[in-house]
Amino acid sequence: MNENTYDVIVIGGGPAGLAAAVSARDAGAGVLLIEREARLGGILKQCIHDGFGLLRFGEKLSGPEYAEREIDELRKRNIPAKTLTFVTKIEKERGRFRVHAVSRDGVAVYETAALVLATGCRERTAKQVFIHGTRPSGIFTAGTAQHFTNLLGELPAKKCVILGSGDIGLIMARRLTLEGAQVLGVYEAKPTPSGLTRNLHQCLYDYDIPLYLSHTVTRVFGADRLEGVEIAEVDENMRPVEGTGRRVDCDALILSVGLIPENELAEGLGVEIDPKTKGPVCDGQCMTSVDGVFSCGNALHVNDLADYVSENAAAAGKAAAEYRRIGRKPARLNASEEFLYLVPQRLDLNRSNAGTTVYFRSRCDYNNARLVLSVDGKEVFSKRYAFLRPPEMERLELNFDALGLTERSDVRFTLELQGGKERAQ
């Protein structure tokens, strides 16, 4: 075998890439991991708060601790990892992949039979939010604030407003407060919060930081540096209600308005993207629509727990190691409109689907819902949920092999709502 030739190349060295590389190696594959940053660990390097690892390690760990444990596993197996190496392009040639990467040593091309894309997600930025006014400095994402505070040790704000109630924003509200900054409030345009309930409690309520639902920022003030923002109430259609605007003086506006899977490389390969998850459409082995290309972690769909990312990535890594070119026999997994999304979106009936993990989110807050799996109109599985909330991802393990599916089967997930829709406070 040529020195630049591998069975599996994993792109991205966050928790997803690390777990995928380790499990591919354990399944006997020759693996290379490529990461563009200087250090492995992905976004967890800057997530210094705890809450990671309860499922995977049975311990409450901080992000760096969790990532470092995963890095230790990689090192124990002597899996080569190229850092400060950016994958720019991937070509598919006669069923194999040529991965072009740039590093300080120049450009290199690596060849592989299977690819795992573990490129994580990125934050929505100010460009994707409509706000009137100039563009003074002092407007940045929660992840940028996290980078400054936790890696560089520089407090990016003294008195700030947070727009959006995503988890990173909530976590940064607490973090900045601990370091002595004043967080005037978290403003959320939707009538329900985007972040996990526990983060509302432990990050906002514990520190008396107010949360304003159905409110948004409509204007920013200041020439070079931000001096204030205008806050207004919004109606059901998320449009500002006239006459409700008021000015709040602050030196920073921190955005926590959502995450999007990072899939430039996948798109370059012609991978089909699911408009609901914004990540690749995949099967029970995490294989995308392009044979031999696997996707996992936040590149596949935005998870709220690193533990789930590792679990999903380990499955992808193993499947990539075991990948052989055989024809596919796809069966769609349909989900009713009460689901925000459901992953995987299809199954490959030529492979075993005996222990398939299904991840989903509900579209709205539902109380007392019954999830029903039916095949050709016949109920084959059901599960009750006291409540379902979009911010809280659910997972199910199902044995699809027992259902005798064919390519023509109508496999359908529905949510029956007994309690009706309910908006959380």
Ligand X SMILES: Cc1cc2nc3c(=O)[nH]c(=O)nc-3n(C[C@H](O)[C@H](O)[C@H](O)COP(=O)(O)OP(=O)(O)OC[C@H]3O[C@@H](n4cnc5c(N)ncnc54)[C@H](O)[C@@H]3O)c2cc1C
Q: Which stretch binds other proteins (CB under 8 A): 64-72, 87-95, 237-245, 316-324?
A: 64-72
Nearest distance from C-beta of residue 43 to ligand X, angstroms: 4
Among 6, 31, 36, 375, which residue sits at the site for ligand X (rule: CB under 6 A)? 36
> Where in 294-333 is the site for ligand X (CB under 6 A)?
297-299, 303, 305-306, 309
Q: Which is nearer to other proteins, 160 or 305 (CB)?
A: 305
- From residue 290 to residue 329, the character string flagging contacts with other proteins as x (rule: CB under 8 A) and all else as - is --------------xx------------------------
Q: How far apart are CA 93 and CA 392, in angstroms?
A: 40
SS3 for 376?
coil
338 is a site residue for other proteins (CB under 8 A): no
| DSSP per position, 144-205 | HHHHIIIII-----SEEEEES--HHHHHHHHHHHHTT-EEEEEEESSSS-SS-HHHIIIIIG
Q: Which stretch binds other proteins (CB under 8 A): 148-156, 221-229, 252-260, 367-375?
A: 148-156
Q: Which stretch binds other proteins (CB under 8 A): 201-209, 254-262, 364-372, 376-384?
A: 201-209
SS3 for 71?
helix
- From residue 170 to residue 209, the character string flagging contacts with ligand X as x (rule: CB under 6 A) and all else as - is -x--------------------------------------
Please report which helix (H) or strand (E) contains residue 70, including its range. helix 63-76
Contact 190, 183 (CB under 8 A): no
Q: How far apart are CA 198 and CA 187, in angstroms?
A: 18
Contact 142, 256 (CB under 8 A): yes
Distance of CA 8 to the CA centre of its chain: 22
Q: How far apart are CA 423 and CA 364, in angstroms?
A: 8
Among 5, 27, 37, 50, which residue sits at the site for other proteins (rule: CB under 8 A)? 50
Among 8, 15, 110, 278, which residue sits at the site for ligand X (rule: CB under 6 A)? 15
Q: Is 12 exposed, middle or buried (0-12, 13-18, 19+ CB in 10 A)?
A: buried
Residue 46 dihedral angles phi and psi, to the nearest 5°: -100, -5
Put residue 168 in one of left, alpha, beta given phi > 0 → left and psi -120 to 50 → alpha: alpha
Contact 301, 339 (CB under 8 A): no
> Where in 95-134 is the site for ligand X (CB under 6 A)?
118-121, 123
Nearest distance from C-beta of residue 35 to ligand X, angstroms: 5
Residue 7, contacted partner among other proteins, ligand X, none, CB below 5-8 A by kind:
none
Among 4, 128, 197, 399, which residue sits at the site for other proteins (rule: CB under 8 A)? 197
152 is a site residue for other proteins (CB under 8 A): yes
> Where in 271-290 is the site for ligand X (CB under 6 A)?
none
Contact 126, 255 (CB under 8 A): yes
Q: Residue 10's closest CA among 120, 94, 95? A: 120
20 is a site residue for ligand X (CB under 6 A): no
9 is a site residue for ligand X (CB under 6 A): no
Q: Which is nearer to other proteins, 36 or 351 (CB)?
A: 36
Structure-token pair, residue 36: 């563009």
422 is a site residue for other proteins (CB under 8 A): no
Q: Which residues form the interface with ligand X (CB under 6 A)?
A: 11-17, 34-37, 42-44, 47, 86-87, 118-121, 123, 143, 146, 168, 171, 259, 262, 265, 297-299, 303, 305-306, 309
